[in-house]
Amino acid sequence: MDNIDVMLVPLRGLLLEIGNFLPRLGVALAVIVVGWLLAKGLRVGAVKALRALNFHVLTERAGVDGFLKQGGTEKDTVEWFGTIVYLLVLIASLIVAFNTLGLTQVTDLLGRVLLFVPRLLVALLVVVFGGYFSRFVANAVLRYFRAAGISDADILSRIVRYAVMTFVVLLAVDHLDIGGGLIQDTFLILLGGVVFALALAFGLGARDRASQLIERWFPRDPSDRT
């Protein structure tokens, strides 16, 4: 009889642990289901609110939607914002659920992901507004150079737009804090090398062409402009 009691002690402990775990598992599953439904509702609400504010018009004019379509995605920027909101709510519900189960390591990992998602949201906003601003500046430069009679106004306006967008992308990547600044430093080194190579090639191999362009853009006599 004593041997039977000794054998039943681990079984009783196991059943007690299962009995304590099942209510917590039920609460965790309920939190995940409610969080999933809430995330879906907030995603739809965020998309409708942004479209009501004509945010999709801003993203289309900024060129972000066109860039996404070229990348092969069917979603526009507004839908991606809704997806980010969906992920925020869903990850928050998962954190609460796993915390209920006592899985602290999983909770810490999800907490880091939850802190990264708002950064992604802000970086996307920076790209959207920066793209719109770059197009605005490029159009202003284009109109000014055309009024000044410079024939290469289209090329110069594109250069200005790409320069502004490069700065905007660097700001977005810096806000994401990916790679501890390695991406920004690498990009700046490559950009500096390209600019130096172009300047050297243009200065050595096309001095006559450079003088012609400068004379055409800024002639000594305004009547000589073509």
Average pLDDT over residues 186-190: 71
Q: Is the pLDDT of residue 160 over 70?
A: yes
Local structure of 195: helix, strand or coil = helix
The least confident of 6-10, 60-64, 171-175 is 6-10
**pTM of full prediction above 0.75:** no
pLDDT at 214: 62
pLDDT in tens, 86-137: 988 998 898 888 888 777 888 888 888 888 888 888 888 888 888 888 888 8
pLDDT at 42: 92
Burial of residue 22 (CB within 10 Å: 0-12, 13-18, 19+) is: exposed
Q: For every residue of 68-91, which 3-state class applies, written as one string? A: HHHCCCCCCHHHHHHHHHHHHHHH
Q: pLDDT confidence of 138, banded at 50, 70, 90?
A: confident
Task: Give the contacts of 222 (CB within 8 A, at least 6 positions apart).
Answer: 149
Task: Give the contacts of 164 (CB within 8 A, at least 6 positions apart).
Answer: 130, 133, 134, 137, 138
Secondary-structure percent of the chain, ordered helix, strand, coil, rounded to 5: 90, 0, 10
Q: Is the pLDDT of residue 193 over 80?
A: no
Q: Which residue has the higher pLDDT, 11 or 81?
A: 81
pLDDT in tens, 112-124: 888 888 888 888 8
Alpha carbons 125 and 225: distance in angstroms, whole number = 42
pLDDT at 37: 93
